[in-house]
Amino acid sequence: MAKKKNTKANALWGGHFSAGPAAAFAEINPSIDVDQRLYREDIQGSLAHVEMLAAQKIISAKDAASISKGLKQIQAEIESGKFTFTPALEDIHMHIEARLSELIGAVAGKLHTARSRNDQVATDLRLYSRHALRALDAALRELQAALLVQAEQHTATILPGMTHLQPAQPILFAHHLLAYVEMFQRDRTRLEDAGLRMNESPLGAAALAGTTYPIDRARTAKALGFAAPMRNSLDAVSDRDYVIEILAALSLVAMHLSRLAEEMIFWSNPLVGFIRLSDAFTSGSSIMPQKRNPDAAELIRGKSGGIIGALSALLITMKSLPLAYNKDMQEDKRAYFHALDETLLMLAAMTGMVADMRVHKDTMRRAASRGFLNATDLADWLVQTLAIPFREAHHLTGKLVLLAEKKKCGLEELSLKEMQTVHPKITRDIYHALALENCVARRKSEGGTAPERVRAAIATAKKEYL
Ligand code: ARG
């Protein structure tokens, strides 16, 4: 049996169509499942547009009033869950316009004067991004606050600082946490910066070339909180660089989250035992009763790939598109919204995990006393007290490390006599230099791990970041 051809053309743009879409087209074309979340911004943009049309006498004040009233009613319907979405109406813009004509009749058709879905969607997405950036900033700030609460409790907690994931030098746990506070602060400023750059209005660019109506773009820009209208109509409807910029900033957030997640997975491993993650963010095993798996941290690490993937997806989508609008761009929102949702979720999970984690100071301290973390300090003592060149001091210290390794003890446990086998002028004073607390306390250089520096850094972060 031959397939029946769909003869129902689209009511909003199908004036010159005699046949409707093929089934596969009807499925590939709509974006309503994704862009229905733009309803508020879409209505906000339409309200500003219609107010301007009336002010410019392009439509009558009466028509504008009835359109505005209808739009507000639609917003209420959507928010109360009474609105029905259907793929046949493609996207959020057509849903709202179609419902508007049901509500107020033919006058609804005047709303789209001097406008196109191209400048409409570009406007909606910028408005939506503005809100999203606010939510992201708040979530990043919450995470910084949680890190700072933990940091404040651990300005005397010493753990092994690592390079190459090998014990390197003793540091304060607070100092380690503050490193992430800084990373997340830069992430916040990157997002803020993207927000400033995108804050220009595409509305009034119409389909691509501007419009023949005497519109007032400055008026709608102002009404929507934009700094100014975008200067070029083609650019206004066809670029998505602001989405890409935000995705790039989110990729960095995700990368930072993933690194922290990785560290928490490592720290919570029973073989390491530096922290214990709470029940609320871990799971057990159905077969191994002893297990406490750091699932939330693993999922944060895992999901970071998806965020970075969204960035490349959109870069690749955009890179070969000629000006101006192309339907390819409809795909921007799927990846973008997903990345926004996921990042907020990852931030919430990380904030909870950080707030809940129990820190095992004694285990950290014990780990710091193994692995000769004070070797640099021994060499520094030789340099500073005996005026030995650093390279030579490094060599002499290496010999002592070898000796301590053989004796299975720490450097500070070698006797003075043993110390003096590498240099006769070594005095008892050296033991003071080797105490871990002193190793940490002496790193007073700006940005260093000395407790006084760390306490000041916490105070500054609380004042400037929270
Ligand atoms: N749903 C479309 C999108 O998200 C809106 C713009 C459609 N414009 C067009 N000329 N078909 O990109």
DSSP 280-303: GG-B--SS-TT--B-HHHHHHHHH
From the list 363, 354, 360, 379, the residue with the least C-alpha distance to 439 is 379
State how far the alpha carbon of 316 is from the alpha carbons of 20, 240, 259, 331, 332, in Å.
Answer: 31, 12, 26, 11, 11
pLDDT tens profile 76-90: 999 999 999 999 999
Which of 76, 94, 113 is the last residue in one of the domains? 113
Shared domain for 362 and 386, answered yes or no, is no
Asked whether the predicted pLDDT for residue 4 surpasses 70, the reply is no
Residue type, 383: V
Pocket test for ligand 1, best of 13, 31, 121 (most atoms within 8 A of CB): 121
Size of the chain, expressed as the number of residues it contains: 466
Of the listed ranges 286-295, 318-327, 393-402, the least confidently predicted one is 286-295
- The packing angle between helices 173-197 and 241-268, to 10°, is 170
Shared domain for 241 and 317, answered yes or no, is yes
Number of folded domains that form the chain: 3
Q: Looking at residue 50, what is its pLDDT?
A: 98
Average pLDDT value for the chain: 96
Shared domain for 362 and 385, answered yes or no, is no
Q: Residue 34 is part of which domain span? A: 30-113
**Residues 401, 395: Cα–Cα separation, whole Å:** 10
Shared domain for 108 and 143, answered yes or no, is no
Residue 340's CATH number: 1.20.200.10
Q: Ligand 1: distance of its center to the CA of 121 in Å? A: 7
Token pair recorded at residue 429: 């004073």
pTM: 0.94
| 13 in a structural domain | no
pLDDT tens profile 287-317: 888 888 999 999 999 999 999 999 999 999 9
Asked whether the predicted pLDDT for residue 2 surpasses 70, the reply is no
Which of 341, 366, 391 is the last residue in one of the domains? 366
Pocket test for ligand 1, best of 327, 328, 331, 333 (most atoms within 8 A of CB): 327
* 200: DSSP letter: E
**Residues 436, 161: Cα–Cα separation, whole Å:** 12
| 263 in a structural domain | yes
Q: Is 164 a catalytic residue?
A: yes
Closest CA to ligand 1's atom 11: 327
Q: Looking at residue 285, what is its pLDDT?
A: 81
Shared domain for 394 and 292, answered yes or no, is no
Q: Ligand 1: distance of its center to the CA of 86 in Å? A: 16
Q: Are 275 and 266 in contact (CB under 8 A)?
A: no
Q: How confident is the model at residue 20 (pLDDT cuts 50, 70, 90)?
A: confident
Shared domain for 261 and 172, answered yes or no, is yes
Token pair recorded at residue 151: 């940091």
| 16 in a structural domain | no
Catalytic residue selected from 16, 80, 164, 415: 164
**196 three-state secondary structure:** helix
- Please report where in the chains the tokens 């339409």 appear, as a residue: 46
Q: How confident is the model at residue 1 (pLDDT cuts 50, 70, 90)?
A: very low
**Residues 71, 83: Cα–Cα separation, whole Å:** 13
Q: Ligand 1: distance of its center to the CA of 348 in Å? A: 33
Pocket test for ligand 1, best of 12, 39, 91 (most atoms within 8 A of CB): 91
Q: Are strands 228-229 and 358-359 parallel, antiparallel or unpaired?
A: unpaired
- Using a 6 Å CB cutoff, which residues line ligand 1? 31, 35, 91, 117-118, 121, 325, 327, 329-330
Q: Are 344 and 135 in contact (CB under 8 A)?
A: yes
Catalytic residue selected from 131, 285, 312, 432: 285
The DSSP element (H or E) to which 158 belongs, if any, is: strand 158-163
Q: Are 54 and 69 in contact (CB under 8 A)?
A: no
Q: Ligand 1: distance of its center to the CA of 434 in Å? A: 68
Q: Ligand 1: distance of its center to the CA of 345 in Å? A: 28
**Residues 336, 345: Cα–Cα separation, whole Å:** 14
Q: Is 285 a catalytic residue?
A: yes
| 124 in a structural domain | yes
